[in-house]
Structure 1
Amino acid sequence: MEIRQNVVMFVGKGGVGKTTMSAATALHFASHGEKTLIISTDPAPSLSDIFGKDVGDRETEITENLYAIELSFDEVLRRWKEKFGPEIYDVISSFFDVDYDIVDYIGGAPGIDEEFMLDYIHGIFREGRYDRIVWDTAPAGHTMRLLNFPSKFIGHLEEASGVYMKAFNYMERVKGLGSKKKKPVFGIIEGWKKLAEETAAFVKDDKTVGYIAVTIPEFLGVSQTKRTIEELKDFGINVKHLIINNVIKKPDCDFHKRRMKMQEKYIRELSEAAPEITEIPMSADEIKGAEKLRAIGRVLFG
């Protein structure tokens, strides 16, 4: 498997090994001298368990060239309020007499975590502190909502601008207040729109962001994977790499022989799902620690 993009997103349903494949990939990059950050936004993160080192909401050094972070919803919300809170308050207080607590209320709205998650990762990429960013995403449904959010947000801002303009014109006529705040507030709205447009372009830039689907050769895993790949394609994103995890290669009992036959059927179903497909053999041991991750990396990258 050859990956040229600076940002690599691992997608797939829960429980198929996304975190393991993400960690193995990040360690591979780091071992080859590339400063790498692995980010987990999974609601049930397990980077700490896999690396055997506490990973939290701050960038933590795992080994030479490798850093990790687990972003919780609370931390995402805190960073979102820190970055956007004052601007949001300026916009809302232009219409209503409200306390700053309104920012906390808005922070709980659906989609806020998706909005800032993408903005955060895009920001790290723009800073250029890392050669590679590996993103261990949440299960597939959440990821698709996240990727769709910038486009929806742009649509909202385009509609909202007209509403805000009418409101300001009314305030200007009736109360003489509109002209005082129109320019700065509309500047904020235009800034949000530009940010959303840049983020939408970022996630679709196949020279910068690569998508790797991870699955297992079972009915639910295969069905979800095919659906995710098609949804990404409709969104303008082509998945170039597919990893099929937990493949039985050397059955040593009747049970494993039957499972392997079942797996072969599903692997054939996935044969045209992506240009490059890598099979990861089922392991008798738990995959955790650098040695086991490097072994996975050798299968992935040769």
Structure 2
Amino acid sequence: MDLTTVTEVVRRPSGRPGADWRAGDAWLAGGTWLFSVEQPELRRLIDLTALPWEPLVPGDTGLGIGATCTIQELYTAALPDEWSAGSLFPRSCEAFLSSFKVWSAATVGGNICMSLPAGPMITLTVALEARYELWAADGSVRTVDALDFVTGDHQNILAPGEILRRIDIPAHALRKRTAHRRFSLTRLGRSTVFLIGTQTPGTSDLLLTVTAGTTRPVRMRFDALPDARTLRQSIEAVPAGVWFDDPNGTPGHRRHLTLHFAEEIRRELMAGGPA
């Protein structure tokens, strides 16, 4: 879609692009959402793809993902064998409501900052205990838990001019065993629910992340694998207003699916199923 109100595109922004932020600006990365609907309030686009942000930076402490890393780059990432949770990367990319052609443009950071309940990059990074590095317009930097970034449907903690620079996934989370479940109304449709369970090797703990069915990510931590009743009670304790309601599923339907799939994940990890 043509954005007829935009009068300027900054192709080569400064290394700290937020310093020049003004009302009517928008960050441009993949643009897959930005150009899909009218944006009458916009006057200027700031192209982040010109910045030298490495897409993927593996290291001893974990994996750094640049906000402009494309979905295609994440999907094809060659990760160390000991990072067993890396199997979640392609599964999360495949949860996009888009064709593989869009993957070459859409970015990890863009999906997170859209902050939609069904954002699969949100699911992935929250489940793997990531932290986000945020750059403010005044030059300050803050780091937040991925769990705390999205606050509701299409809502997050970003201030005007603030930008998501980097996602850091710790090595200990990448070494975990995993189990996941996803449901959509159609094979390539938007997620109605997307759950990921992770477990530290050699322990019986459980970290369960619930997304898509809720307006914000919900994460439940158990020091030992809970029994079915305890797990069910934890899910039932999620406030009614947190369950999402749209054409892909009612809150009651999403809650039912979450209870069902969470128990499947619990049993799979208890039985030592596939990582």
TM-score by length of 1: 0.24
Q: When you count helix as a share of all residues, which structure comes out higher?
A: 1
TM-score by length of 2: 0.26
When Rg is computed on C-alpha atoms for both structures, the one with the higher figure is 1
Q: When you count strand as a share of all residues, which structure comes out higher?
A: 2
